[in-house]
Each structure stands twice: as structure tokens, then as C-alpha cells.
Structure 1
Amino acid sequence: MAKWGEGDPRWIVEERADATNVNNWHWTERDATNWSSDKLKSLLLGLSVENEEGVCEVTEVGKVEGEASINNRKGKLIFFYEWNLKATWTGKSKSGIKYKGSIEVPNLSDENDMEDLDINISLNKDEPETPLTALMKTKGADKVREALGSYVGFLKTEFTQGMILPTANGVSKPQSSQSKAKVDKTQVGAESSTAAPPNTGVKIPTCKFSMKETFLTSPAELFRVFLNQEMVQAFTHAPATVEGERGGKFRLLDGNVLGEFMELVYEQKIVMKWRYNTWPCEHYATITLTFCDRGSETELKAECRGVPESEEERTKHGWQRYYFEAIKQTFGYGARLY
């Protein structure tokens, strides 16, 4: 048995005299069925695609049948999920004619790779032929596949929180008083160096990546979207806490995203510490948003550093869906995608 403060933290048993299932190391099982059903509906509902022929949107998720569970066996997570999904899509041509069809996914399962997933899209029998069917079978199917891939990612990250506790929480030394010093809150535009994330006592492999998006608005307006609490609540469709100043904290999407504004340069740059609440305790990525004036448009570049390697795709998808696309749809800043 390891001594307190040494060795693998999963075997630390100071608080358990009988050492039974310490930190869920030996066994844990969770039923993810209800959570999965809600998550699948939320990811699919409202998906939309468009081209020169018109626009299509998933307007109803009528059938979500199946089950999902996660088992932990001696530190290894085993995922099981099997779903049969049916949804309704509605199309509207440029001339204003409306159409309705169906989407069926019969084999969303841990046994099938995402690229092998069957996505059957059809037009209702009583509907006249329309090019929008082809749009749904191509771009629409890709969107559905992407959403279902996100579900698998969330199942393996968001829902598994607490099943295995490999970090040194409670073992690492407390932060020094210097690391807890309150950041001076000065006016927007003041320069500062970005503080390093606190040491969690656990090394994890990280990555960096960048994303670009163009918005049909001015840098000033787009800058304000990220700092104004009411505007953040509008595009996230959920309560949020946003202190829009240097050193100010934010908490979004029911607490799933949180962080702190480290540097603000009006209309030009936002630097923030940013994390999902499922990441190892106190681990933050550094997100730098750069706003470039392109006349009638604003090009936004997001540079992300310190993202856990296992969270790269989830983080990219989250920023694309819950920030970029949500901001465009909410405030009408839609523009071409890069």
C-alpha cells in the first residue's frame, strides 16, 4: 500500500479504513441511457444545411430507442451504446415551397465505426421531388454524422466524470499565496502577460490548434458579444455569469465551461483561461481571440493552447457549434465558413 503523498493516487486509502474500491479503481457501472437520450435529441434538433436551392432543418426527433452504459474495470472504461434513431427534416426552397422528409439511423453502436454508420434520408411519399433531398443526403448526412460523433465524445468525457480519479486531487500541495493573488482589474485595453495554469500535480499531453471564422459585423460588436452577460446568455440559450473585464470570471452552459479573462484589448484581442469542467482539476487551456477588421466583415481567429490531446476534437466542435454557429444564428452575423 502506498504511503500518503506517494505512488499512484488511486491507491491512497487514508480516508477509507477498509480500502474498498478506492477512487472507483476496481469497479463502477453507470447507466447512461437517459442522459444519452437527452443528449442525442439536443445535438440533432435544429441541425440545418443550405445551398442555392434552399434550406433544410431537423425539426423533430421522434424516436430514440436503445441503451447506453459505462463500466470501469480496474481503471479501464468500457463503453456500450446501441441506438435506433428517427427524426424529421423540413425543407424550404428559395421560392418558398416547403417539404418534409425523414432521417433514420438504425445502427449507432459501439461496434460500428462512425464512417460505417448508416444514415438513411428520404422524402415523404406525398411530397413532390425536390433537389433539397440531395442536399440532405450529402451535407445533411454529414451534419448528422458529426452530431452523433459528438455524442460519443461527450459520452466518453462529460458523462464519465468521477468514474476514475487518476489525478492527485487532495494530494498535491496547496497553492502558494502568490498564485492566489487577486488579479488587478484595470480598464479594457491594458496589456498583461498570461498567467500559467496552476500545477495540478499530474502531467497530461496537450496540443494546440487554431480556427478562423468570418462574421458579418464590426470588430466592436463581435468583441462585445463575448463580454456582455446578456448577449452570452442569448447565444448559449442558458444562464451565464460573465464579468466582462480583465481578471473577470465566466461560467457558461450550466457550468460546463468556465474560465477567466486574462487580457482585453478593445476591438482587437481577448485572452482567456478556458476549460471544460470535466478536465483534470485546475487545468486550463489558453484561448486567444484576435479580431481583424475586413471592411463589412470581421475575421475572428481563435488560437487554442494547452488543450488536452484527448479533448482536441471535442473542443474544436464545441467552439464551432456553441460559439461561432450559435453567435451567427442568434445575432444574424452569418457569413461564409473557412
Structure 2
Amino acid sequence: MAKWGEGDARWQVADMGEGGRNVNNWHWTEKDALPWCRERLTEMLGSADLAPGSGLGVRATGVKSCAGEAVVNNRKNKIIAAYELSVVLGWEGSVADGTSVTGEVRLPYISEENHDEDPEMQVATSSEGPAAQQLKAAILGSGKKVVHGAVAVFVKELRAGGPMRSGAAQPKAAPAKSVDAAVGQAAQGAAAAAPAAAAANGAAAGQQAEKEAAAAAAKKEAAAASSGHSIELKERFFAGAAELFECFTVPPRMMAYTQSPAEAEPQPGGKFSLYGGSVQGVFREVAPNQRILMDWRFSNWEDGSFSRVELRFEEPDRGNTLVTLKQTGIPDADRFGHHDVVGTVEAGWRQQVFDRIRRLTIHAQACRPAAPAAGRGAAARRPAAAAPRDVRARASQGDVEDAIASNPLFNSQFMGVLRDSLARQGSESLMRNAQAQGPRTSATEEVLTTALAQSKQTLQQLVVWREQIDRQIAAQQKQVDRMEFALNKSRGDAAYLRALKEMMHGDM
């Protein structure tokens, strides 16, 4: 029997620390990865250039917040990452005239559910104005690729283990007190090689993530370029072509019906924007009061994706204008993958542009004083039946104008349109119509006939709007169903992870 302190070291039990109690990460281990996420995002985006190639100085000022939860689990050396983060970056920038603007870049939802997609990105400014809008557009342009590329690398590293792969998170085995020198040297060599291997794995994962992000971006651009939906709309307005032309080229008129910031430079190459930048584009051809050709896009379309819009203004009668819109090259989906772009564009033109312009012009017509018309037909109705034909024609026109002026059903705009129509027809046309059609109908009946035609047209428009609303409701219901499915799946995954964790702890 060996004496105390003597004997073969191979038969002595050594204290191997944590490494001896969880060999090869066989048992379930869990680590809070939120501090690592905040530190890693700061390294990648804390001072990044958010508008490369734009000529503007826009730079991130750090990660203002990284909220949510991020946990990395390891069982039998298999990594399971669960995370749901909301990240806010600060930024500051300036334009050519020296105006400085600050703001935030918000990434409201980074989760394992959308690890293979570009996260939603929102840009907020601390002030309003042309400088803020210019910097915001630059960040949403070239800066988006910078942010999405960094997030793709970050997600790849987190899913590969994050802090558990960094070398600091893995439990280090304590050196054996009684093991021979060869075993100790081998353990030290393995410990020294672990950080290098982790760094190599991280670099390889980053390069692979960048390649995948570039391939996804190229795929999206190709899909946007290959799609080309089109719409054609025709709208009639009781207003002049010049007045309607200004609704697309004069910023005060544009802001009057949108009730939001608008800009326009009505010349070839000039830019325009509506609804605070939600709609933007470039004028290509401008023919005053006749035609507008422009490149047009929503701000949530893919970068560089534009459609072509042509607006024509035809005014066959004074104050009666037909506006024809043709739009081609509408993409199949926006940058978030929503495929109802065509319906959204058409509904936007009808509800947010044409209907608002119509209400604006009707209000302007109603506010104008109506020309006095009463009494003009009274003197014309006095001559006997033997009066000359031109006198009888003027009497007929006077009857209609008196009926229009005295009838409370019609506003000043409607009165002006009918009065102009009567003036164009002339006395000879009125007499020919009266002789061809037999006894002339009353002036009130003629006015009501015209009003009936207008009401039928309005009814048809309302039916079209109802169909569009039904389509929007159906699309929104599909979106709700998808979100409910995603929520239920997330809850089920969380319950599964909790049960698995409890089971693993029970095995220990």
C-alpha cells in the first residue's frame, strides 16, 4: 500500500473544475446574450457611415438602446439561439449648406422568425425641413444596405453561438493537480487554440452572411425589374385644365388637398414629393395644362424602383376637364414582401389624390360668387308667338337659366357648367333641337335630366370604391391571419423550449 503523497498519478482523482462536470457541453447550459448583442452591434454600427456614396456626411453616434431578450442554449454541443430584439441607433448629419440634423434609426423587430429576411428599418429626424428629408432619403437609400449587411452578419454570429463561441463564455477547466505534464500541456494547447478557431469560424460565418445578403439583394432587384404591372384611370372634373395641372406642379396647391408637406420642381429632371416623402419621383416631360410625364414611386418600394406615370388634361368645354392617368412598371411587391402594390397604388390615386382634388375644386367653386341670372329670361318670355326665331331662342335659354338660378338643388359650380353649355349651343342649335324633337320639355326637366346622369356616374364610382374596399379588407384579413399564425408558432416554440429546459435540468 502506497504511502500518503506517493504513488502513480494516473490512479489519483484530480479536480478538473467545471470542465469535468459538463464534458463536451453534454448537459443543458444557458447564457444571457443580451450584453453581447449590445456590444457586438456597437462594434459594427456604432460609428458606421449611414450614407456612403451620397456626398452627405451622415454617421451613426452609437447604439442608444438594445432591448428585448437574447438567450443562447447549448445541449450536447448543439447551439439553440432564441432572441427578439428592438434596436435604436443614433445618427447625425449635415447637408451642403451646413445645416445639421440628428435623429434615430430604429430596427423594431430582429428575431429568429425573420433571420433570413432584412428587418424593418425606420428613420426618424429631430426636426422637419428640406435638410432633414434629404438626409432621411440618403439613409433609406445607400445606408439601408450598410445596416442590413451588418445585421445579417450579427444574426449569423448569434445563431452560431454568439458569446458561447467567443471564448469567454465557455467554462475553462481547472488544471489537474496530479496529472502528468503531458496532459497539462495538451489541455493548455487546446485552450489556446479555441479562441483562434472561434475567430476563424466567426470570420467565415461573416463572409458567408455577406454573400447571402448580396445574393438576396440581387434577387430582389431582378424580381422588381422583371415585374411591370400597369393601371389606367380616367376622372372627370368640373374645373379647368390649368387649375388641375397646378394640383400636380404647384406646392401650395398640392399641400392644399394632401394636408401634408409637398415639394415640386415642374421641369424635366426636377424632383417632387407628396405626403411628406411617402410619394416621390422626378419630372420627365412637362407640357403646361396638357401633359405630365414623370418617374413615380412609393417610399416603401425597393431602392431604385420607379414606375412611369403619364397624366393628360383634356378640356373640351370650359370648366369640364377629363384627366387620364396611365401608370406602367408597377412592381409586384414592396421591400417588405407585400404583394398588393397594384391595388394600393390604384386606391391611392382614387382616394388620396383624385377624390381630394375633386373636393378641393368643388369647395373653390362654391366659394366663388355666382353671376346673377334671375330675370334674364323674364323679358324674353314676353314676346308673342310671332316673334323672330332668335328671340324665341333667347327666351328658351333664359328659361333654363332662370330655372337653374332659382332651384336650390344645384350649387354654383353646377349652374356655371350648364350655363356655359347653353351659351356654346347657341340660339340656332336650341331651335333646331326644339323643331326636331317636337314640343320642348320644361327647363326644370332638362336640368333634372342632367343631374340624373351625374348621379348615375357618381353611383358607378361608389360601386368601384366599394369593390376596392372589399379587396383591401380581404388583404388585411390575410395579414391578420398570418400574424396570428406567427404569434401562435412563437408561443408554441417558447413552450417547447421551456419544457425541454426543464427536462434537461431534471436529467442533471
Q: TM-score, normalised by structure 1?
A: 0.44
Return the structure number with greater strand share: 1
Which one has a bigger Cα radius of gyration?
2
Higher relative contact order (CA 8 A, sep 6+): 1
Return the structure number with greater helix share: 2
